[in-house]
Amino acid sequence: MAVWLPADAPYGEPDVFTAAGLIHFAGGRDEEAAHWLRNAILATSAEDLRQPAFAGIRLYLASAEAHLGHVEAAAQALRDFLTNVPEVHGIAEFRRWNDPIRFFLVAPERLAEGLRLAGMTE
């Protein structure tokens, strides 16, 4: 799957950045995924980032960082998620809580593997 998005694009629409992050994550390109997911977080208002609909951005970032071996960055993204969605503590709970309206999931097993590496329980 080929997708071209310039790495130095100005911050803008979070949906484009999120989509780019998910595409790269699904393709196993964690460095690029983390880059785009960080941009999605930066491009999203603080108020919106507190909404559960944006929870997936943080979890995918945590997983990508964990796959890269960036332990502290993965743990921080996971803490940010848990702060904003305190009712979800584990991977199975997230799967039950989430629905496509909240956040569209790609590569769910790869996501779960990274979340385990980041310290999230099953």
Compute how many other C-beta atoms are within 10 angstroms of the C-beta atom of residue 87: 8
Tens-digit pLDDT profile for residues 10-57: 445 778 888 899 999 999 999 999 999 999 998 888 777 777 667 788
Tens-digit pLDDT profile for residues 56-104: 889 999 999 999 999 999 999 999 888 888 888 898 888 888 777 667 7
C-alpha of 55 from chain center: 7
* Contacts for 40 with CB less than 8 Å, ≥ 6 apart: 14, 15, 17, 18, 21, 57
pTM of the model: 0.83
83: helix, strand or coil: helix
Number of separate helices (H) and strands (E) present in the chain: 7, 0
Tell me what pLDDT residue 54 has: 77
Compute how many other C-beta atoms are within 10 angstroms of the C-beta atom of residue 84: 15
* Contacts for 21 with CB less than 8 Å, ≥ 6 apart: 32, 33, 34, 35, 36, 37, 39, 40, 57, 60, 61, 64
How far apart are alpha carbons 47 and 35 in whole angstroms? 22
